[in-house]
Structures are given as C-alpha cells and as structure tokens.
Structure 1
Amino acid sequence: MSLVQAPRLETERLILRGPEKRDAEPVMAFLLDQARAAGFGASPNRGEAWRWFCLNVGHWHWHGYGYFTIEDKTTGQAAGISGIWNPESWPEPELGWVVFDGFEGKGVAFEAAQRARRYAYEDLGFTTLTSNIVPSNERSKALAARLGARYERTYFNENMGEDELWRHPGPEALA
C-alpha cells in the first residue's frame, strides 16, 4: 500500500508509483552504497538512509509530488526512483532519477524521467524543470542532455556542495 497519494504512471516497461514500506530496503541499500550514491547524497548509516526514505514520504505530503518508486513491470522489483524534488534550499523544482544496482544501462532512468517530466508538465502544470547534477556525475549529465536539458550554471547547493543546474525543455518544446 502506498504511503502517499501519488498517481500510478506507466510506460512500456515501468510503473511509477508512490513509495511503499517494501521500498525502504532497496532505497536504503542504494543510499548506503557510498560509491553509487555519491552524486545523489549517500547516507553514512542506516538511520540516515531511513530518514531520507521518510523525507521523500513527507515531501509528497508537503508538495503533493516527490520521487516515485520505479517498478519493473516484468519482475515487480524496485528499479530506482524518479520524480520531482523541491526541498527547502533547492533553487527550483528538480527532475531527478536514480537507478538501483542491476538496472543500469537498460534505459530505465531515461524512460522513468521522461514519464515523470510529462507528469510534471501535463498534470502538475509546471512550465520548467531543472536537474541539479554534481559536476563529477558524467552519467547523469549525459542523461540530462539525452532528455534535452542544457547546462545553465554552477551554483553552491548547501546539501551537495558545488552543483550544476541543467534546464529541461519546457512543455511547449516537447509537444
């Protein structure tokens, strides 16, 4: 059962749905992997990883949107998270994505991010989105570019340090 009132979005291979209690373990495993989660904000221990999972649940309640769990339609496994993130201190709403171990290189992040962006534009009425990317995260920058986003500026993110802001094309450019 979902912990939030999130819509269920589908693509050809994926389901984007609200976080459920069963998603806590895969999310925490990702956050505790210091190398894999470095560009996202790795957690130093299980308690901090659990708090981040609950932060996402709270984000949904506060904003009415947040990170969806990406579920693989074939296996039912949690494959990652993607959605709109806008906590206190963020410059503006961000389209974000993370793919869990074993799901990289399969187009999961691209497919999920495209669907989450469409949801933000068509259902939430957003007119612009950004992605905040740690400068060393070349894979995320390549995905942002593949999604049509363009580097706009570098800024200081109080949570992540130096961050690059990438601007996505607006809804009119994607129609």
Structure 2
Amino acid sequence: MISVPVIETARLRLTALTEKHFNDYASMLADPDSTRWIGDGQPLDRTNAWRSLAMLIGHWQLRGYGMWALELKDTGEFIGRVGLFHPEGWPDLELGWMLKPEHRHRGFATEAGNAVLDFAWNKLHAPRVISLVRIGNDASDRVAERLGGEHIEDMDFYGSDTHVFAYYPPHVEQRRAFA
C-alpha cells in the first residue's frame, strides 16, 4: 500500500483522504454549487460520494499520486480536496481543486495548488501539468492564472466547453516543447 505524503503550507495541511473525511466530503458533493463545474454538474448522493472517495483513494495506489484532503492546519477542519488526477482517457496530468463554499475566495486553492505543483515538479518530475476549467467558472480561471497557468486551448471535454491551462516546471525554457 502506498503512503500518501503530508504536505503543509502556511495555513493548510494536505493529507490522505480517509473514511474520517467522508461525512464532510459527501456534504460537499451534495451541494449543487460545489458540483456544478465538475463531472456532469450534478450533486452526488452518499452512495456516489462514497464511490468518488474510493476512486480518489485508489488513484494513489494505481498512479502513485492523487488528491489530498485539504484541512486547515490550526483546526484540522476538512475544507476540500486538491491534487493530481490522471485517470484512463484523461488528456494529461491534471491539477484540480474543490473547496467547501464557506472556504472559497480566501486564497486556499492557490496556496494548496502551489504546494501540489511543487510536488509535481520535485517528486514526480512531471514535464507538464494541466487544469481543465469549464468555461464560465471564472473563479477557477483566476486560480489557474495565479498559479502560473497558461491558457493554451479550449476543448470539448465530456460535453462541456473547457479551458485548458498548462503549467510547466520553473526550469523549462521553451514551454511549447511540451504542448
């Protein structure tokens, strides 16, 4: 079994998703405002939230990386998920994030995203990471831009018009060489 590394930032702890996070995770995925920009845009019931959690946990085993639970460092409160995702059929290694509504617009996604990109560059030696952001999700567009994402194209991704932002390791001089 793979050990999920714990990453700490100034305000956050990125830690392994576990069953202890399930009630908060299921609540987040039951909220239409939280799910409108992912998957089919529909909220999930507890059964499908469990499947989602199990898939994200299994992704670590299959790929050696994945999504972390995002907790406030000072209280341990679960505030969302963040991490790397690359299931079968995905266009590239993706950086994704989702925060509970009451924790949005405080810089948490950017702070956590920077930590995840550092992990991608220094631990995985990834040549590129992308974020897939549905057109209209202006808040996530801004997060991707603050993380240094370059809007490289728009695509139809599972029936939704989607911005593709690309991130490159700091040492890469010719970004388009990886595109």
State if a TM-score over 0.5 links the two structures: yes
How many matched pairs?
171
1:13 counterpart residue number: 11
Identity %: 28
Alpha-carbon distance in 1 for matches of 2:50, 2:154: 30
The CA RMSD measured in Å over matched residues stands at 1.8
Instruction: Report if aligned partners of 1:82, 1:95 keep a CA contact under 8 Å in 2.
Output: yes
1:169 counterpart residue number: 168
Q: Which SS does the other structure have where 1:92 is aligned?
A: coil
**Alignment of 1:107 onto 2:107:** yes
Deviations 1:63-115 (A, max 9, x none): 01111111101111011111101111210000111111321122111110100
After TM superposition, the structure 1 stretch with the greater mean CA deviation from structure 2, 50-59 or 97-106, is: 97-106
Alpha-carbon distance in 1 for matches of 2:43, 2:49: 5
Large movers: runs of 4+ above 3 Å: none
1:125 counterpart residue number: 125
| Structure 1 residues 48-63: aligned runs within 5 Å | 48-63=48-63
- Residues 133 and 111 (structure 1 numbering): CA distance in 2 closer, same or farther, change over 3 Å? same
- Residues 69 and 4 (structure 1 numbering): CA distance in 2 closer, same or farther, change over 3 Å? farther
Alpha-carbon distance in 1 for matches of 2:171, 2:26: 37
Q: Structure 1, unaligned stretches of length 5 or more?
A: none
Q: Structure 2, unaligned stretches of length 5 or more?
A: 173-179
Q: What TM-score do you get using the length of structure 2 for normalisation?
A: 0.89
Instruction: Report if aligned partners of 1:39, 1:134 keep a CA contact under 8 Å in 2.
Output: yes
2:71 counterpart residue number: 71
